[in-house]
Amino acid sequence: MRRKHFLQFGASAIALFSLEKIGEQYGLNIADAQSILPLPKPSERDRVCSRLLAGRIDRIMADGLVSEVQMLRLLRLNRAPLNIYGDLPSIYREEAAIEGVNADIAFCQMCLETGFLQFGGDVKPDQNNFGGIGAIGNGARGDRFSDRRTGVRAQIQHLKAYATIRPLVQPLVDPRFGLVKRGTAPLLGQLTGKWAEDDNYDRKIMAILQRLYKLAGFV
């Protein structure tokens, strides 16, 4: 085993070895011995890595993993106008947490839809439409929202409509919520062909998500 791997997993390995020794001494199995010498609690990094390795980062109804600062770093590296949109990461984390939606996925979807807030497509900045709701191509600009928070909330609600049949927590602001067949896309990959016709829609969002997690030091 390489030294760095030993350092990463050494505490757990030592604890397991200790459990085995306790078990031998007192005639206990591992589970019983653990009550005497509990395994060290996993760190936040271990928890995140476990989730990444299990392939669960694509679940729309889930807790986000990254901080506001890490989101801002991704935006800064992609030349987003933070003098205008510096509050967006905190809004995404707040609104997503209320509805139980994965803030990381919603945020990375926004990065794709808006070109990292440079708005080079049909949707314009004054629409506050960060998810491209109603923008179906051929110059269709999509829906307009009164302010940034309402626009983010609409996107979160639209994601929740696809991901689950659970009721909304906040008052409905997504004008197309009722058009969605609820619960048909609990995974990011299932948004392709529903949210957007682009065959690579989910892969593009996942690529941004992986960049975000790399910046955060998770991968």
Give the domain ranges of the chain: 3-41, 68-215
**pLDDT value at position 77?**
98
140 bridge partner residues: 137
CA distance 190 to 59: 10
State the residue for tokens 């109603």: 134
- Whether domain 68-215 has CATH 3.40.980.10: the reply is no
In 3D space, the residue among 182, 217, 184, 187 whose CA is nearest the CA of residue 202 turns out to be 187
Say how far apart CA 217 and CA 165 lie, in whole Å.
34
Tell me how far apart the 2 most distant CA atoms of the chain are, in Å.
75
Q: How far apart are CA 43 and CA 63, in angstroms?
A: 16
Instruction: Please calculate the CA angle 155-103-131 and round it to the nearest 5 degrees.
Output: 25
Give the count of beta carbons closer than 10 Å to the beta carbon of residue 62. Answer: 19
**Residue 15 near residue 41 (C-beta atoms within 8 A):** no
Question: What pTM did the predictor assign?
Answer: 0.77
**pLDDT, position 41:** 59
Could you say which residues of the chain have pLDDT below 50? 1-23, 26, 28-39, 53-54
Q: For position 6, what pLDDT does the model report?
A: 36
| pLDDT value of residue 8 | 42
